[in-house]
Structure 1
Amino acid sequence: MNLLGIHHVSILTGKAEKNFEFYTNVLGMRLVKKSVNQDDTSSYHLFYGDAKGNPGTELTFFDIPMLAPTHPGVSSISSTSLRVRDEESLQYWKKRFEEFGVTHEDIKKRANRNTLAFEDFEGTKLILVADDGEDGVAAGEAWSETDVPAEHGIVGLGAVLLRVRNQKPTARVLTDVLGFEHVDTYPSVDGDGLPDVHVYSTGEGGVGAEVHIQERPDLPKERIGRGGVHHVAFRIPNEEEYDKWAEKIQAAGLMNSGKVDRFYFQALYFREPNGILFELSTDTPGFDVDESVDSLGQNLSLPPFLEDQREQIEQKLRPLTLKE
């Protein structure tokens, strides 16, 4: 019973319109689901992914207008990786970022991979990472209806970087409970004298199945706001294994949400000892359960248990105009 890799990463935004413009028009990702935060149906929840909305490709955003900025620190998911084909793609993106005025670094090695770190308009820390033919969890399919050439398109999620004061309790949950293995250590590229980064891997391995951890006892605790990462979700193949994972998390003594039906996937939430929110999510049934693949993201989608409240929900939602 192994987790397959990263399912999705959820982030906070204060401006859904500008968020949509950046992730579709600049990054060339596809809006695969326009829905609502099921825990607060007065706000939108946007999902961006690959051409088919495959598991392991989605960045999701909770829209909270007027949200204060994030104050970075520990107990945080401090960066999220996005996969591209190879180093040539990184060169393409470096040039594109310069054209669009996107804040970015030079191409650097992280975990012996070619990477390009950048930020969105709210300061969200993102890293493009080149697959360069590496074995591991399969990538998705680049969205072709964009001006980003398909050969350079974003094809999925890569590793997340966790920053914590003490990595041991977080590592213990990853290895003893979730079944990850410690597979590598690499030097920090953020400055001289900073602690190394530890790499933990699950499933078939590769960048789509990794969590990176860095100890930073010198930093304050993060105060999350716009641009901050709310949680990371890990992939479970189906509902049968989901039931077993729910039992395992409970048996491990981790306080958790219990099983939560999100309709597009089944979920379970818990915080690891440093306070970072983890989620376990099923690959099934998927984002095309209520829309065809061709029409993903075109309309406001609600799960069946909210459908009878559609009129009230739509009345509470602020107008949202998303322009290609």
Structure 2
Amino acid sequence: MNVAPSGLHHVTALAGDPQKNIDFYVRGLGLRLVKKTVNFDDPGTYHLYYGDESGRPGSLMTFFPWRNIAPGRIGAGQSTSTAFSVPAGSLGWWHEHFTSLGAEPRITSPSSNEERLMVADPDGLRIELVATNTDDPRDPWDSASVPAEYAVRGQHSSVLTVRDPEGTVGLLVNDLGMRVVEQVGNRTRLAAGDGLPGAVVDVVSSGLTPTGLTAGGTVHHIAFRVPDQATQQQWRDELVSRGHQVTEILDRQYFTSIYFREPGGVLFEIATDTPGFDIDEPLLELGRALKLPPWLEPSREAIEAAVVPVQLPAENNPGAAA
């Protein structure tokens, strides 16, 4: 490959009630809602983006919330867990924090140098916090809900559960330019770029796991990052030349995207770092207003009538006037 990802860009999942989703990710996980927009393919529902202060690629988790969505099933052919990086020694605080919110966190230690806390969001989506001795240089969002010394630094990794790990690992190495860094049991760890948190994918082989059903509480796709659209176009051309069915470049307003499926069934996206989330509202105001792309502005009145009203916690915009 002539191009390779520098890491993960975002993970997108399906949710139910948007207010419960906002409360969990802003007040529970301590992220910032950096954009409140709509699903461009179904403008009657929100597309909510969470991340650090400015929504930098590699910090992002996004959701399509439908209030009456049926529950999905986490299983083979999906990204079955999304992990965020937190400082070493912080999981005790996180355990108490989530317990106080009525969640049921569980600390696990899959390896000697990595400690994990798993918790389910209101729709049953698996979220993990990963504390390692590897320094994560990214600055956290200064949330009123989570002290900076414990706060999320950004994504750590995504777990892909598949029946044919050779096909998935082969694509990640040969077509996405990642490298295998560890193999323990049925788990293969791959890394992109510098291999730091935010550039890691774990492929888990599980022949006994039921096939996943994509609906509420499941991941829809994971996205890898590239710096710009020119690099994205080059990557698309290479993937198509290798026989992959890749979409055209799609305008997502805050980045551009291409999509394709890997052999295990997981939907992949390649998204650009630019232009970012401050192109249509100032940094101080991120997430407060419903933002629409130019082609949906003529339908604003109908869209605002269709989406469910939500309240954004004050800590999301601490410097803004009420």
- In 2, distance between residues paired with 1:156 and 1:226? 23
Distance 1:321 1:134, change over 3 A: closer
Q: Secondary structure at the match of 1:81?
A: strand
Contact in 2 for aligned 1:56/1:157 (Cα 8 Å): yes
5+ residue gaps, structure 1 = 188-195
**Match for residue 179 of structure 2?**
181
Residue by residue over 1:22-41, the C-alpha shift from the partner in whole angstroms, topping out at 9 and shown as x without a partner, is 11111111110000001111
Structure 1 residues 174 and 15: alpha-carbon distance in aligned structure 2, compared to 1, 3 A threshold: same
**Matching residue within 167, 170, 173 for 1:172:** 170
- Partners of 1:238 and 1:127 lie apart in 2 by 29
2:302 is aligned with 1:312: yes
- Contact 1:103–1:120 at 8 Å: present in 2 too? no
Structure 2 CA distance for partners of 1:112 and 1:142, relative to 1, 3 Å: same
Q: SS at 1:303's partner residue? A: coil
1:7 equivalent to 2:9? Answer yes
**Partner of 1:190 in structure 2?**
none
Map 1:288-303; keep pairs closer than 5 Å. 288-303=278-293
Runs (5+) with no aligned partner, structure 2 = 315-322
Q: Does the 8 Å contact 1:90/1:107 carry over to 2?
A: no
Larger mean CA deviation between 15-24 and 98-107 belongs to 98-107
Q: Which amino acid aligns with 2:118?
A: A
Residue 226 (structure 2) pairs with residue 253 (structure 1): no
Partner of 1:143: 141
> Which of 57, 72, 75 is the matching residue for 1:73?
75
TM-score (norm 2): 0.92
Structure 1 residue 269: Cα displacement: 0.5
**Aligned equivalents of 2:110, 2:207: Cα separation in 1:** 24
Aligned to 2:318: none
RMSD of aligned residue pairs (Cα, Å) = 1.6
TM-score (norm 1): 0.92
Which position in structure 1 is the counterpart of 2:151?
Answer: 153
SS in structure 2 of the partner of residue 150 of structure 1 = coil
Give distance in 1, aligned partners of 2:111 and 2:230: 36
Q: Report the equivalent of 1:40.
A: 42
- Pair 61,153 (structure 1): closer, same or farther in 2 beyond 3 Å: same
Instruction: State the 1:111 CA deviation.
Output: 7.7
Greater shift, 265-274 or 178-187, is seen at 178-187
CA distance 1:32–1:110, change in 2 (3 Å): farther
Equivalent position of 2:100 in the other structure: 99
Deviation at 1:112, TM superposition (A): 3.3
Give secondary structure in 2 for the equivalent of 1:301: coil
Partner of 2:317: none
Q: CA deviation at 1:104?
A: 1.6
Kept after mapping to 2: 8 A contact 1:111/1:186? no
Aligned 1:179-218 pairs, distance under 5 A: 179-187=177-185, 196-218=186-208
Cα 1:110–1:41, aligned 2, differ >3 Å: closer, same or farther?
A: farther
Look up the SS of the partner of 1:311 in the other structure.
helix
What is the number of equivalent residue pairs in this alignment?
312
Distance between the aligned counterparts of 1:173 and 1:79, measured in 2? 20
Residue 120 of structure 1 deviates from its aligned partner by 1.2
Q: What is the CA deviation profile of residues 120-160 of structure 1, one whole-angstrom value per residue up to 9, with x for unaligned ones? A: 1211111101243437xx53x32224131011111101110
Give, in whole Å, the separation in 2 of the partners of 1:238 and 1:54: 14
* Cα deviation digits, residues 160-213 of structure 1 (max 9, x gap): 0011111111111111111111110134xxxxxxxx210011111123111101
Aligned to 2:118: 117
Write the distance in 2 (CA, Å) between the matches of 1:297 and 1:110: 37
| In structure 2, distance between residues paired with 1:51 and 1:133 | 22
More displaced, 243-252 or 157-166? 243-252
How much does 1:115 deviate?
1.6
| Distance in 2 of aligned mates of 1:98 and 1:14 | 22
In the alignment, is the contact (CA less than 8 A) between 2:156 and 2:198 conserved in 1?
yes
Give the 3 Å change call, closer, same or farther, for CA 126–145 of structure 1 in structure 2.
closer
Alpha-carbon spacing, 1:279–1:147, altered in 2? closer, same or farther (3 Å): same
Q: CA deviation at 1:58?
A: 0.8
Identity of aligned residues (%): 38
Deviates more, 1:147-156 or 1:259-268: 147-156
Residue 192 of structure 1 is matched in structure 2 by: none
Pair 1:277-2:267 in alignment: yes
Runs of 4 or more, structure 1, over 4 Å off, are: none
